[in-house]
Amino acid sequence: MPAATDIDIIALYKDESTRNKSLELLIDKYQQKLYWHIRKIVIDHDDSDDVLQNTYIKIWKGLVNFKEESALFTWMYRIATNEAITFLNQKTKRNTTSLHPIEYQLSKSLESDHYFKGDEIQLKLQQAILTLPEKQRIVFNMRYYNETPYEQMSQILETSVGALKASYHLAAKKVEDFLTKD
């Protein structure tokens, strides 16, 4: 059986009798993509699961108002991105007693994460990415890992294509500088 299209999922959601099936299809289709998008922002596996759960709650509650002006995928990624940023902001506020910025804490979390299967080079790349400002980090991850087109990123992040290209270029340069310093 072919995978359900976004149009199929929305149609199932609109019919009260098939609404739960739409959620099942939505999760099957996007859970892994959303998880990894969130994971690249919040780093920690358990935190990513929590943010993903909150993302699906927001999606489920908001689907009734989805105007279909953008792709379902784009709308969901925007929600996931906002939830991940909100989570990090809340984590920063809770850690007001820490002397280390959130990026340092995320880096240490990555080093001790038993779910992280990367080698030393991948760890160094992740640490380089964590030195980037939040927006550049998100743009870099979306472009570098997912090869997300700038036009789609523009819709998700509600930023111009030109600004995204500039952010990616600056981020890539900073990552390169981090990896080549010694």
Residue pLDDT, tens place only, 88-104: 888 877 665 444 455 55
> Given this model, what pLDDT does residue 99 score?
43
Tokens of 16: 């009260």
Is the pLDDT assigned to residue 41 strictly greater than 80? yes
Query: Taking a C-beta distance cutoff of 8 angstroms, is the pair 153, 143 a contact?
Result: yes
Highest mean pLDDT among 11-15, 40-44, 89-93, 129-133: 11-15
Residue 112 has pLDDT above 70, yes or no: no
Contacts of 19 (CB under 8 A, 6+ apart): 12, 13
Within the chain, all domains assigned CATH 1.10.1740.10 are found at 1-98
pLDDT of residue 34: 96
Lowest mean pLDDT among 3-12, 18-27, 83-92, 122-131: 122-131
- Residue 3: CB atoms within 10 Å: 9
**What is 118-182's CATH topology?**
Arc Repressor Mutant, subunit A (1.10.10)
Output the six-digit token pair for 35.
């998880």
Domain 1-98, architecture per CATH: Orthogonal Bundle (1.10)
Q: How far is CA 30 from the centre of its chain?
A: 12
Q: Are 172 and 140 in contact (CB under 8 A)?
A: yes
Q: In this predicted structure, what is the pLDDT of residue 100?
A: 45
Rounded to an integer, the average pLDDT of 4-9 is: 91
pLDDT tops 60 at residue 127:
yes
Percent pLDDT > 70 in the chain is 85
Output the pLDDT for position 1.
Answer: 57
Percent of the chain with pLDDT over 90: 55
> Given this model, what pLDDT does residue 56 score?
96
What distances in angstroms separate CA 136 from CA 25, 57, 129, one per listed residue? 32, 27, 9
The pLDDT value given to residue 4: 87
Which residues of the chain are in CATH 1.10.10.10 domains? Answer: 118-182
* Residue 15: φ, ψ to 5°: -90, 115
For residue 98, the model assigns a pLDDT of 47
Look-up of token digits 């019919």: 15
